[in-house]
Amino acid sequence: MSLAEPAALPVATSAAPHLHVLKRFTNRFKASLPAYLLLLPSLVFLTLFTYGAMGRVLVDALYQRATPRAPVRFAGLDNIAAVLTDSAFTGAVVNNLVYAVGTAVPSIALALLFALALSRTNAVTSALRAALFLPVLIPMVAASALFLFIFLPNVGLLDYYIGSFLPVLPNWLGDSDIALYAIMVITIWKNAGYYMLFFLAGLQAVPEDVMEAAHLDGAGPYQRLRHIILPELKPTFLFVTVIATLNAVTQVDHVFVMTKGGPSNATNLVLFYIYQQAVEHYDIGKASAATLLTLAALMGLTALSFRTMANREGGG
């Protein structure tokens, strides 16, 4: 097809310019047709299950039922306004921010620590790596059900071990000041081992010769970490941060199993709020509006971080 192009070119120039553009477009389309055809099966399913659903959410967010028996009417941006003024939603956003920072930072720090400690491969580190990775293999729902019993006041495993050191035994999941942190502990426990894998992979990429040179120059362990290892791990950090943030918004299994957002909305996260609007309030309009807002925030965040990543890789 590309061989035929020069011959066709003079004819095209003599014709109207827009025809030229059209022709080039058709040619390019022809060239990429097999690619599109190959993509077609997955496109069909993406459209059915991803883009179609997103489109549906967009439409649903614009409509509202005023009363149970009234027909659905066009509401414009009313649903979005209602969500933004709902104190339960703003509360969930604040909770989610606390939760995101409070789970991402410790789990990444722990993951880095584990990876540095276990970067050399031998029988002991392999066993420890496996042990640290184990929580990743347990489904979140099962883990939450287990922690429900670990957190039982007075009779749970946690109070059994640390109860005698505390002045009063806290109601871990029933106290609105503590519940969110109890939930965060599970997330950290579950995700640190997963992020460790990325850091282990990142550490393999640290050039051996640079490390040796630094060693010969008399750089201590801290200097090597500060000036060689951490800069080399920057892309890994960025990637893991994105993953951790996405997890903070998309994982609510433990909230569902352990607290249902309670007590008094203390552990309510954005995704659980959406669930409540959709199924408890039976308010599809408001649920869709909240979904749209969340999607927009997530897409913005992802775009921003991937651009930063691309810049860094281009510059590096």
Q: Which stretch binds other proteins (CB under 8 A): 15-23, 120-128, 221-229, 261-269?
A: 261-269
Q: How far is the CB of 149 from other proteins (least distance, A)?
A: 8
Residues 35-94 that bind other proteins (CB under 8 A): 37-38, 40-41, 44, 66-70
The helix (H) or strand (E) run that includes residue 255 is none
Cβ proximity to other proteins: between 38 and 205 the closer is: 38
Query: How far is residue 266's CA from residue 182's CA, in Å, rounded to a whole number?
Result: 11
Query: How far is residue 297's CA from residue 307's CA, in Å, rounded to a whole number?
Result: 15
Q: Which letter, b or e, does each residue of 66-95 get, where b requires 16 or more Cβ atoms within 10 Å of its Cβ?
A: eeeeeeeeebeebbbebbeebeebebbbeb
| One residue of 79, 96, 144, 265 binding other proteins per CB under 8 A | 265
Cβ proximity to other proteins: between 211 and 257 the closer is: 257
Q: Whose CA is closest to 192, among 133, 236, 144, 248?
A: 133
Binding map of other proteins across residues 170-209, x = CB under 8 A, - = no contact: xx-xxxxx--------------------------------
Query: How far is residue 295's CA from residue 61's CA, in Å, rounded to a whole number?
Result: 13
Query: Quick check: 280 binds other proteins (CB under 8 A)?
Result: yes
Q: Which stretch binds other proteins (CB under 8 A): 13-21, 107-115, 212-220, 272-280?
A: 272-280
Q: What is the DSSP letter of 71?
A: P
Q: Whose CA is closest to 83, among 278, 301, 303?
A: 278
Cβ proximity to other proteins: between 19 and 37 the closer is: 37
Query: How far is residue 83's CA from residue 289's CA, in Å, rounded to a whole number?
Result: 7
Binding site for other proteins (CB under 8 A): 34, 37-38, 40-41, 44, 66-70, 148-149, 152-155, 167-171, 173-177, 260-265, 276, 279-282
